[in-house]
Amino acid sequence: MAAYSGTADCSSNIPDYEYIDVNTKVFHIRSFRDEWLKRLRPCDFSYQEDSEDTFEANFVKEMGMSAETLAELKSICSLDSLRRPADEPQDTEVIPPEPTLKTLVQRKKRQDYKASRKLSKSTTRHDLYADELERLTIGRKAEEVTDMVPEGEVILTINVYYPNTAERFNNVRPHMTLLMTGSHSLAELRDAICCVSDLQVCGEFSNTPDMVPDFISKDLYKSAFFFLEGVFYNDMRFPECQDISMTTIEWAKSRNFPLFSQAKMEDTQLVDLKVKVGFPYLYCHQGDCEHLVIITDVRLAHKNDCLNKKLYPLLTHKHRVVTRKCAICHLYIGRWFTTNDQFAPSDPCLFCDKCFRMLHYDAQGNKLGDFLAYPYVDRGAFN
């Protein structure tokens, strides 16, 4: 992989490639935003809609054309010119046998490919709802003016990946994609990340299956950190939080690595970070559950974005995974897994709640046999 050797902008506030099409060099997000606001006109990032007459007048002026040429363009590029003849069916799913329009040619190829593969309905359903979350929020406006995303606000696109302990191939696709404004803190990013490790219930409950505690791992082990550009941002919002980055810092000191610094994630806004777009950073929680976090885009908000501050952090994509079913009925999602279990077909074995109780307890709720049982939280719970 070769580093980018082109001529960089004289201002360090503007990100430049470190590796072409991979990641940028380090830049300060607030300075980058201020540089854009300095170079753009207020109307360029305003949410106000121009009237059609104003838009046409500005278009003619900027393109240096006459009003007659604009009228001709509007006629040629009208949606009516894209419609099929009136005597033909208007179904958008029906494509002519030999289309000449480039978009229809590509759609025809895709339809023929799907037909040749005989793809299942589930695949079609996935394609249909792939961008459902983003479509539900695009263009949403706030009811109150105070809830509007301010003009000139910066929006970051953040991909959060599966932990490195997940099954193969899961670590190469994002688990979720979030949109966040620059005024959000790293603590708010942490709260928006969903991980099955935070939902686990610790302990063995074969003797008391009805007394599983209500608290989850996230309530018990609240410490976490982000590691970005040599800085550990620790979550210290609660008295129970510990500085779990100190182990790594002391290890690095003993081996003469460059010194790392520390900060509190609740006191750090995203707009104050120095980052590389496209570069993998670390989010660690529950002691050793590590996720890659990649900022893929930093831009100014525009009028077609979701402009309701209350809806941010905004989830735009979530990878759906196959749920693990009960080993007995193969119908319901697993809720318990057992070990040293004489009633189970395997060791360990996964059970839904109904099958677990029917096999392992009598009518009075007394335990049958000698086995160990642990609550299980399926990754598909986030689907």
When pLDDT is averaged across residues 253-263 and rounded to a whole number, the result is 89
The per-residue DSSP string of 361-379 comes to B-TT--B-SS-EEEE---G
The pairing of strands 280-285 and 231-234 is unpaired
How would you class 265 by CB atoms within 10 Å of its CB: exposed for 0-12, middle for 13-18, buried for 19 or more? buried
- Say how far apart CA 27 and CA 6 lie, in whole Å: 17
Tell me how crowded residue 306 is: count the other CB atoms within 10 A of its CB.
22
pLDDT-derived band at 226, boundaries 50, 70, 90: very high
What's the pLDDT tens digit per position in 20-76? 888 889 999 999 999 999 998 888 888 887 778 888 888 888 888 888 898 888 888
The per-residue DSSP string of 249-290 comes to HHHHHHTTPPPPEEEEGGG-BGGG-EE-TT-EEEEEETTTEE
Cβ pair 205, 235 in contact under 8 A:
no
When pLDDT is averaged across residues 292-300 and rounded to a whole number, the result is 94
How would you class 154 by CB atoms within 10 Å of its CB: exposed for 0-12, middle for 13-18, buried for 19 or more? buried
What's the pLDDT tens digit per position in 235-248? 999 998 888 899 88
- Say how far apart CA 226 and CA 282 lie, in whole Å: 6
The per-residue DSSP string of 200-230 comes to ---S--SS-GGG--S--HHHH---EEEEETT
Q: Which of these ranges, 107-116, 133-142, 155-164, 200-209, has the smallest mean pLDDT? A: 133-142
328 pLDDT higher than 80: yes
Backbone angles phi, psi at 292, to 5 degrees: -80, 135
What's the pLDDT tens digit per position in 142-154? 788 888 889 999 9
- Say how far apart CA 299 and CA 305 lie, in whole Å: 11
Which comes out higher in pLDDT, residue 200 or 292? 292
Name the average pLDDT for the chain.
Answer: 84
User: Which of 292, 297, 182 lies closest to 228 in space, CA to CA?
Assistant: 292
| 33 residue type, one letter | R
| 179 residue type, one letter | L
Residue 169, pLDDT score: 52
Residue 131, pLDDT score: 63
| 127 residue type, one letter | D
118 pLDDT higher than 70: no
Residue 130, pLDDT score: 60
Residue 206, pLDDT score: 85
Q: Which of these ranges, 124-138, 192-206, 209-223, has the smallest mean pLDDT? A: 124-138
Residue 74, pLDDT score: 85
Which comes out higher in pLDDT, residue 253 or 320? 253
Residue 211, pLDDT score: 81
pLDDT above 90 as % of the chain: 29
- Say how far apart CA 243 and CA 262 lie, in whole Å: 9
| 32 residue type, one letter | F
The structure's pTM equals: 0.78
The per-residue DSSP string of 69-100 comes to HHHHHHHHT-GGGGSPPTTS---TT---SS--
268 pLDDT higher than 90: yes
Cβ pair 148, 309 in contact under 8 A:
yes
When pLDDT is averaged across residues 90-101 and rounded to a whole number, the result is 77
When pLDDT is averaged across residues 229-234 and rounded to a whole number, the result is 93
pLDDT-derived band at 298, boundaries 50, 70, 90: very high
187 pLDDT higher than 50: yes
